Structure 1
Amino acid sequence: YREGYNNPQVSDENLIGLSRARRPNNAIFVNFDDEGTPTEPLDAAVQNWKKVCTNPVDKKAEEELRKLFEVRPVWSRNAVKANISVHPDKLKLLLPYLAYYMLTGPWRSLWVRFGYDPRKHPEAKIYQVLDFRIRCGMKYGKRTQTTETLSLLSLSHTVSVHDLKQGLGTSGASGAKKSASSTYKLKESIYIFREGALPPYRQMFYQLCDLNVESLQKIIHRNDGTELECTERDGWCLSKTSDDLRDSMSLMIKQMIRSTRPALFSTTTSNEDGKEQLAYETGEEEDDEEEEEEEFKPSEGSENEMETEILDYV
């Protein structure tokens, strides 16, 4: 949150969609300042999942998600979708069966294992969320994907328990074709930030443990062992940690694009500070890039899936 930000007052007057029928997913929502921690799902959530868990594939997905929450207690939905293959509609029912959803604070928009309270564990700072946006001037045309993004492969090979717990994902390449077991898996780039690779969208929601760059991890861990208080703005991290991370990530992206695709940069005289601005290419090359875009669809529906995820449960 920015300095001086206050959560808006919630009332019937400023809520949208009150007349819409509530979706029967029965997730438990928790605000940062709520007391207590949910320890089990709602009965309705249990019943909903049992109704649709009718075949070995569904039971396997449940077992795999349980294992994910055992080694890492906090997950974004996109991170889950990059690690297990499950139909999106069934995942909407499975998540409330195993975890509760944080609405505000440093773990907002994330799913937390029942019984675990990140507000009480300083080590949970690695699971905090970072809202990162490419902060450059754009020439808005058709949304395009770069070859750097397209080269990132889906998570289709074995990951160690340590990797899952600490984040960082996997690396390397695999030429194998997509198997039936990874039908619904998203690409790793949807939740992991790596130096030298562009984010697939202009706005991304990363967990701090999934910023796979040593210099960024040093920023996150610079107060290890001296955490005194968990605040709604910064969690267990030092003040301004999110700002420092965004500055470093923006610089990495600018340097990477300047070295690989200098044509995207233009110096405009209209800028008061005279700084370079990043401009998306438009024109004849869009036809070729549009074909690439069809091959890479990391998320169904909204590009800001984590922003609108709550709409699936209200």
Structure 2
Amino acid sequence: MSDQGEDMAERRPLPERALLSVEYPGYVVNADKAIRSIGGSKKLARDATEDIGMPVELRYRYDDPASHPINGKIIPTEDLLLKVTRRIRRSRERGTEPSSENVQVRAEVVAVLDKTVRFRKLSDFQYIVPRNDAITQFSSLVNGIDIDAIKRLGASSVLDDPLDATAGYIPAPFIDRRGWPAQYQPAAGGGTGNDGSQPMDEARRRRDTTKQVFHGVYIKFDAASVPIHASPAAEQERQSIPADVLEKAQRILAESPVVSRNAMELLLPQSECSGLKLTTIMPALAYLMESGPWRGCWIRFGYDPRKDPDACKYQIMDIRHASVGASGGRIRLNPRSGAGQPQPDDAPRSGARARTYIYDDDAVRQKAAGIFQFMHVKVEPLRGLIDYANGRRRVPCEYSGWLQPSVMRTMRLKLRAMKRNSCGVLQGTDELAVDYAELDKAINADRKAEAEALAAEQLIEAREASSAHGQLSRTVRERVDARVDEFMKALGVQDGTDPLNEATSDGDAEDGVDAYADEFDIFGYDDASDDDGQQPYQPE
């Protein structure tokens, strides 16, 4: 056996035993009291097995009903519980230290920790309510379900005494409801403004009066039509915008009727807008979508990207990265000087700091994040998936726009692989390659689902149109006859005969169809025909 084989660790199967791990925020001296402080073993078992999503409450004073809990949650984990045994073989000679050859360490996997209870929030100061308070006593007895003690308390005169508000017998309020640390930046000067030159009330009033109101027009992806002009408030605000700024914004929208907000901020910077913000300029020229593949983009009035297949290049791709420090941990609220903090030049770009709307190789290396449009994506394999002609839809959908959903899912998977590759996790480029044979199979399934959805929509539209005219249209009649034929064939397959085939059926095929059609009365148009002089069926 080679040296590499001798160095390999022994492989053993994992045990089937699964345990619940509790990361208790404290030094546990009495395990029973610690379990009781988080609700007891029965409640923990119920929360872990039923997975109802309720928080696990930790109460250090579990006997006090006024104790405010620290909320934790049960999360899935993939940890192992090890049992480490250390055996020392003593030497016969006294006073000698045991050598490394006489020490044996053995590690054994006892169980799998598939779920863990974690408490990430911080405990805050709490008000202590006196135990001789009547409300506290009654709440403790109710929580303990002590019926006899509740009866004795009700028979006494404790609850009859008036509540003294000055004695502090009030429910303990929360000091902090969030449980997370927050940055505190007090204003300079206690009762003055930021510069101390004016009172706080006057400064607040001035800020309220200068607060900008957004007059943009929002629509949803499934809106019937798109707006063709701005709102009256935006038209009125348009008069205060310089003509050269409006002309430049109109040129940008003329070249590209859909522009992401990130690209617009770079193409039309605030320094060239006479100090005006885009939220003041753009509502007079474009509208916004709340959902769909063009959400958050400035769209020129009158242009509907849902009716233009070429609008696929204007769709957006949201790229995000985890915001972590240089060491990979959480960002410190008050970082010490030096100590592993990234410098501004070496820090990775975030979505707010990205100074480009082009997603190329340089942006991938710098871990750029933000909203990028398809026409600005230059890296493979994303560019190849966007240009893949077989992956287009007949009509756009809210999830993937003009692309098939399988193509969009493949793009997301490859984007994750690119992120791991930029971090040095991937070995090679096999995960970045696209299997177009498997992709075509998924695209065919998407096309079948799209065709069924379109057929259902067309049938509904035909029924609505026929209802408006008071009679069933020819298209609806043909579709109903086709569905009846399919139903009759299915019945014939189940019985071993074909009702529509004269050789296998007892009677005439038309008689069988008429009999079943009369029985089921599809849409009711069989009850009256145009040949007998009666009026056609009119749906209610």
- 2:290 counterpart residue number: 103
- 1:46 counterpart residue number: 235
- 1:141 corresponds to 2:331: yes
Please show how residues 1-314 of structure 1 align to structure 2 within 5 Å.
24-51=213-240, 53=241, 58-86=242-270, 87=273, 89-134=276-321, 138-141=328-331, 147=346, 188-189=355-356, 191-198=357-364, 203-223=369-389, 226-258=392-424
Residue deviations 1:163-203 (CA, integer Å, cap 9, x gap): xxxxxxxxxxxxxxxxxxxxxxx8643x3211243487775
CA RMSD for the aligned pairs? Answer: 3.3
CA distance in 2, matches of 1:242, 1:199: 23
Greater shift, 136-145 or 215-224, is seen at 136-145
> 1:68, CA displacement in angstroms?
0.8
Q: Is the 8 A contact 1:135 1:250 kept in 2?
A: no
User: Any stretches of 5+ residues in structure 1 without a counterpart?
Assistant: 1-19, 151-185, 259-264, 266-314
Q: Is the 8 A contact 1:134 1:250 kept in 2?
A: no
Q: Which amino acid aligns with 1:101?
A: L
CA distance in 2, matches of 1:48, 1:136: 38
Name the TM-score, length of structure 2 as normaliser.
0.33
> 1:43, CA displacement in angstroms?
2.1
CA distance in 2, matches of 1:80, 1:254: 30
CA distance in 1, matches of 2:321, 2:258: 25
- 2:126 counterpart residue number: none
> 1:76, CA displacement in angstroms?
1.4
CA distance in 2, matches of 1:211, 1:134: 17
Q: Is the 8 A contact 1:38 1:100 kept in 2?
A: yes
Structure with the larger RCO, 1 or 2 (CA within 8 Å, 6+ apart) = 1
Residue deviations 1:102-159 (CA, integer Å, cap 9, x gap): 1111111111001100011111111112222237995222685664867xxxxxxxxx
Name the TM-score, length of structure 1 as normaliser.
0.55
Identity %: 27
SS in 2 for 1:40: coil
CA distance in 1, matches of 2:299, 2:396: 17
SS in 1 for 2:288: strand
Q: Which amino acid aligns with 2:280?
A: L
Relative to 1, partners in 2 of residues 1:74 and 1:195: Cα closer, same or farther, differing over 3 Å?
same
SS in 2 for 1:197: helix
- 2:516 counterpart residue number: none
CA distance in 2, matches of 1:192, 1:126: 13
- 1:183 counterpart residue number: none
For these two proteins, the number of residue pairs brought into alignment is 200
Q: Is the 8 A contact 2:354 2:369 kept in 1?
A: no
Q: Is the 8 A contact 2:235 2:284 kept in 1?
A: yes
CA distance in 2, matches of 1:91, 1:256: 34
